[in-house]
Structure 1
Amino acid sequence: MTDIENTSPAAQVGKVVKSESEWRAQLSPLEYKVLREAGTERPFTGKYTDTKTEGIYRCRACNAELFRSTQKFESHCGWPSFFAPLAEDRVVYIEDSSMFMKRVEVRCAKCDSHLGHVFTGEGYDTPTDMRYCINSVSLTLEPAEHGK
């Protein structure tokens, strides 16, 4: 994980930038609440919490490739967990001191949508000792094509 960035990636060249009304038209109310207002879905209710399907997880808002299924692991936290993004340039990190705690928010680098939070040093048995706790509603899964 790189240093925490406090700048919005939407201000950078080549980013997806839409008005609030455009996002509302594209996303369901829950998707909008999570992706655009940094909300969260209830634990253990998300579509991808227990998914074992191989493939690429994409941003639901802009379709950017974010995580591989091979980076997903069982953390039993109630949300899909990954130990690393597909590449560091796919996400940005923002300090989050809401909820009376210090956390690191994870956002899509392409459209600035809220994905979840990343936690480190909690003793995860992963190659990075990190847990990207990501809302299912922030993602879509593109299953791997086998036999090609």
Structure 2
Amino acid sequence: MSPAQQQAASLAWQHAHPLLMVLISTAITLIVVTLIVLIRWLVSQSAWRYHPDGASGFLKDEFVRWGAILVPYLALSIGFKVFVYDLHPEYNKPEVWMGFAVVAIAFRLFLRRLPFVKAMGRHIDAAKAQAKAEAKAMRAAR
């Protein structure tokens, strides 16, 4: 099968199963975000005790911070994918996806600046800074 035939077969499958395409990409996004949050939480284990609510508060802040940024982005993404895969398959072109990428990045940057997201980030950053300062003091004491 030539590359052109493979691309045509792929597009035909996407057009035949638009909601499955949305479901697959949504599931992948949720899995990736969950893994990012869990890895960030586990890597920051030394900072847990400096967080006002401990390890569970640190995890909650990570999920809220990333969730507040990525859940609205995910909703925007789902809406766009339904539009492209189900309603207007003729727009399934690289230039349309690039336009979506620019809008999505701008949307994410805007959401990152929300006051409650910034507050969660300050809690996390303060706990990490305290853990780092303690580790530095312990090294200096040796």
TM-score range, shorter chain: under 0.3
Tell me the TM-score normalised to structure 1 length: 0.23
RCO comparison, higher one (Cα < 8 Å, 6+): 2
Tell me the TM-score normalised to structure 2 length: 0.24
Please state which structure has a larger fraction of its residues in strand. Answer: 1
Please state which structure has a larger fraction of its residues in helix. Answer: 2
